[in-house]
Amino acid sequence: MTGASRDEPGFDPRFDPAFQPGYDPTLHGREQRPPVESNVDRSVRTAPLVEPGQPIAVEEESAAAAEPETTSRRPNVFVVALWALSAVFIGTGLYLLRFISDRLDSLNTSGGGGSSDYYLLQAYTMAAPMLIVLGLATATGTLFLFAARSQRGGR
Q: pLDDT per residue over 10-49, tens digit each?
A: 788 888 878 888 888 777 666 555 556 666 565 655 656 6
Answer yes or no: are the C-beta atoms of 30 and 9 closer than 8 Å.
no
- What single DSSP character describes residue 17? G
pLDDT tens, position by position, 107-150: 777 766 666 778 888 999 999 999 999 999 999 999 998 888 88
| Whole-number Å distance between alpha carbons of 140 and 90 | 12
pLDDT for residue 98: 93
Is the model's pLDDT at 3 over the cut of 60? Answer: no
122-136-101 Cα angle (round to 5): 30
| Whole-number Å distance between alpha carbons of 138 and 82 | 7
pLDDT for residue 142: 93
> In the chain, what are the domain boundaries?
80-151
Answer yes or no: are the C-beta atoms of 133 and 92 closer than 8 Å.
no
- pLDDT greater at residue 155 or residue 150: 150
Average pLDDT of the residues in 75-86:
92
